[in-house]
Copies of this chain bind each other. A is one copy, B any other.
Amino acid sequence: MAATLKDVAALAGVSIKTVSNVVNGYGFVKPENRRRVEEALEATGYRPNVGARNLRRGRTGFIAMVVPELSVPYFGELVSLVISAAADHDWNVLIEQTQGVRDRERDALSALGPHMVDGAILSPEALTAEDLAVLDPGVPFVMLGEHSVHAAADHVAIDNVAAAKTAVAHLAALGRTRIAAIGANPARGTATLRLRGYTEALTEAGLPINETLIAPAAKYHRREGAQAMATFLDLPEPPDAVFCFNDLLAIGALRTAADRGLWVPEDLAVVGFDNIEESAYAIPRLTTVAPDKQAIAETAVNLLHSRVVDRDNREPQTIQAAFRLEVRGSSRPRAATRSPRP
């Protein structure tokens, strides 16, 4: 038989109101009474009826997180961090996968609503500002990832142009002159920004922009990175470095380089983006742009909480999370002489 507030109050020798205050974090409770209530909660194994509590508060107890694919490690890691941050606010997280397809992103947005969730965190790839203007989800939401189109919503993102510039400037500083890019995709907001950072860094380094060294990628998976790298290596003058718009593309590029008998970084330096855990174990270890994922998750959840619970009605905010370039074996300076791998 489940313990009730009354059972807890009887055991602690306090009023039901006092137990309720402790459980819900309301009001002032004398330290001695708090201690007795906490002991009684422990002894009885009391569990609050979360459903009923949310109903009283006019909340569902859920937030939605809309991402392209959980099987992409960046999103797996991000969702994991969001679930932890949401739990601190008593929120459960509903996951919706869109495969980054515009129609499915629109569907996910229009399926939201106050009957289902208190708010949402969206990580769209193809959604446009026009979509967002038409499809009001009816609940507060936070957008993750920088977008070339501006929407009237809170945003949390790193500065993608600056991050890409940092990565490519690093390759140029190593003396690489044929620096390729993998991941161009006009339909993806972040791809456009990373491409801009790439071209700006080349120009600042006095290097030409060579269209044959810019590979598109429909998806940001390992396979696409491997294929793009194979195409580059078939060129009469292949690249001596490659900046990939995410780590999975870079891991695909590393795989192709190994298949072709190239040495990384001696023959080809490789830089990725996301700092997924896999990149630190790649052979060689992958240099990558490391966004502060923990900060992105916590900031997004806290912003949502302030909109939903504190009914914060300020203008939409754009919060920039930090990034750093994590330099590892895949882009160490060119060795004077070759040494056997690894």
Contacts and interface: CB of A to CB of B under 8 A. Distances in A.
> Taking each of A50, A51, A72, A282, which has the highest tally of chain B beta carbons within 10 Å of its own beta carbon?
A282
Contact of A111 (B50, B251, B280, B340): B50
Given A259-B342, A283-B255, A115 B71 contact: no
Contacts of A69: 80
Interface residues of A, number: 44
Contacts of A280: 222
Interface in A85-143: 92-97, 110-111, 115-116
A94 B111 CA distance: 16
A261 interface: yes
Contacts of A80: 69-71, 97
> Taking each of A69, A83, A84, A278, which has the highest tally of chain B beta carbons within 10 Å of its own beta carbon?
A278
A28 interface: no
Nearest to A116: B51
A254 interface: yes
User: What is the copy number of this chain in the assembly?
Assistant: 2
A116 B282 CA distance: 41
Contacts of A340: 340
A189 interface: no
A116 B341 CA distance: 55
A277 interface: yes
B281 A283 contact: no
A76 interface: yes
A93 B340 CA distance: 49
Contacts of A281: 222, 226, 251-252, 254-255
Interface of A: 47, 50-51, 62, 69-73, 75-77, 79-80, 83-84, 92-97, 110-111, 115-116, 222, 226, 251-252, 254-255, 258-259, 261, 277-278, 280-283, 340-342
29 contacts: A47-B111, A50-B111, A51-B116, A62-B94, A69-B80, A70-B70, A70-B76, A71-B73, A71-B277, A72-B76, A75-B76, A80-B97, A83-B97, A92-B96, A93-B95, A95-B95, A222-B277, A222-B281, A251-B278, A251-B281, A254-B281, A254-B283, A258-B283, A258-B342, A261-B342, A278-B278, A282-B283, A283-B283, A340-B340
